[in-house]
Amino acid sequence: MTVMCAILFATYAIFESWKTYNKSSIDTVVETTFLSYTDIAFPMLVICDSSRVDWKRVTQLTERDLPGIDSNLLPVVRKVLKTFSVLSYGDFDDFEELYNVTELSKINHLNLTELLLKVMRPCDDVFLPEGCWWNFKQVNCCEIFELQRTEFGLCHSFNSDFSEYGRVRVGENSGLIGTYWQTESGEFRPRKSSDKGQWSGIRAHISPITPEQVAPNVNAKPSIRILMGEPRGAPLGSDMVVMAGNFGNINVWGDRIYNTHRTKKLKPKQRNCYFGDESSTGMGTNYYLRRNCRTACYLFHMINHCGCYVEAMFGLMKQNDTLRPCNAEDLLCLSKKNQYFNNYIPFEQPSFFMKDKPGLKCECMPDCIHQMYIPELTIAEHTVSTIDNSSSSILIDLHFKQSACILYRSDLILGWLDLLVSFGGCAGLFLGGSLLSFIELIYFLTWRVYYHWRRTPLKSDKSKNKKKAKGRRIVTDTWTMDDCTNSKTSIP
């Protein structure tokens, strides 16, 4: 009974271990509370004018600046450019002003992105001379800020792989966490910061757009929009606004989480994340990032509904000739379908959301290796004025809030080696067994049985033969002895 109870308890414990292993559960624990930010890429910073169209430059356009356009179509071009002043993804109802324009088809051959590039404020106008510092060193703003396509249109970015310069240098290899590339000057990108607090990150003096540079009847006050996030990802997410005459102090912090290589044996839906090399996105990268997946989803929804995309909003890492940039007439389609672009629907739709309401539906899993960048913006007054004194400048300081963050590790609760150890522990605890005991059991149930079976018939045959031989000798001897006895008794 003791042996039977031990077998039952061991079987139950082994079965429970097998169920835990079969569930492939993942556990997240704190690996360290002091992961230095010097080992983490500094976040990208994107700065956009409140109006991405400088109306002074629009009014200065002539037919020489617009190939194939005569002077009679200049008012049409200006109306189109005006609608891009404060445009953002999901606000395509700004194109409603073009419904009554009957000559849009005559300017369809114009490249809207090149037009917007001509009428945006260049880097020298956006940043004040000698007005930037990086990592405690004064630098030329236009050497570290690059042209960037965002959901707000054309802007300027710092430390972004998806900038116009970064896209040419990196291409489709962008997105793999932990990899870096070099510029012509030998600088490694994405950049890193060596400290925390003000002046340790990026600090910039910015001259906001003036009211005279804003198009008529456009609600754009002297201010800037700020985007911040993963430097290897496309600009996407909530923006921050800083008005003219203010100082924007941006503290950045965020923990890091990674999945061990053991979790890679699970399917992505089981662990609810993608490793960088397990998938790609429509942004033209070989590696997966959730931010890029969301951006590609926005891009393809636009293509599915109107057959084109606003080229100034999406920077593809790889040239795709099958995607067509929108022309002037396509803007009307975006305006009509605007309801699809400003409503996000979860991919696994709960009952709370209306199933018949149109919107964006994106299947983008989290990253298995993910660094969080969480900004905290504090606004304070700033007194430095611009040259024309029409509005005050803006000072931005983006830096890490602290010197370290928490590193989390996600791993399988029970791997195959843990399962094997669990089986051995159960056998040892209840049965006093080990691996040698298991091998002995196999030996006695297989080879030992076979050997005993082969030896048993041979012994039986020999025994029978010996018994027969012994019986014959006894008969002979008895006969001989009897014969002799009889002979002796017969002698007189």
Cis bond upstream, residue 190 (ω within 30)? yes
Q: Tell me which residues of the chain have a pLDDT lower than 50.
A: 385-390, 459, 473-492
Q: What does DSSP assign to residue 325? A: B
Q: Is 316 exposed, middle or buried (0-12, 13-18, 19+ CB in 10 A)?
A: buried
Residue type present at position 418: D
Could you tell me the two tokens for 334? 């975006």
Element (H, E) at 194: none
Using alpha carbons, list the distances in angstroms from residue 384 to 119, 314, 455. 27, 35, 105
Q: Please give the helix or strand (H or E) that residue 206 lies within, else none.
A: strand 202-206
**Smallest Cα–Cα separation from 392: which of 208, 141, 242, 129?**
208
Q: Are 159 and 231 in contact (CB under 8 A)?
A: yes
In this prediction, residue 479 carries a pLDDT of 42
First vs last C-alpha separation in the chain: 79
**What is residue 488's predicted lDDT score, i.e. its pLDDT?**
45
Q: Please state the φ and ψ torsions of residue 379, each to the nearest 5 degrees.
A: -100, 135
pLDDT at position 490: 43
Residue 300 CA: distances (Å) to CA of 325, 338, 374, 470: 12, 14, 28, 101
Parallel, antiparallel or unpaired: strands 246-253 and 394-400: parallel
Contacts of 216 (CB under 8 A, 6+ apart): 55, 82
Q: Which two tokens stand for residue 55?
A: 């109306």
Q: 46: alpha, beta or left, given left = phi > 0 and alpha = psi -120 to 50?
A: beta
Contact 207, 126 (CB under 8 A): yes
**In terms of Cα–Cα distance, which of 30, 24, 31 is closest to 415?**
24
Helices 447-490 and 435-445 cross at an angle (nearest 10°) of 50
Q: Which amino acid is at 44?
A: M
Give the separation between CA 273 and CA 410, rounded to whole angstroms: 11
Kindly report the length of the chain. 492
Q: What is the 3-state secondary structure (H, E, C) of 63-101?
A: CCCCCCCCHHHHHHHHHHHHCCCCCCCCCHHHHHHHCCC
Give the model's pLDDT for residue 390. 40
151 membership: H or E segment, kind and range: none
Residue 389 confidence (pLDDT): 41
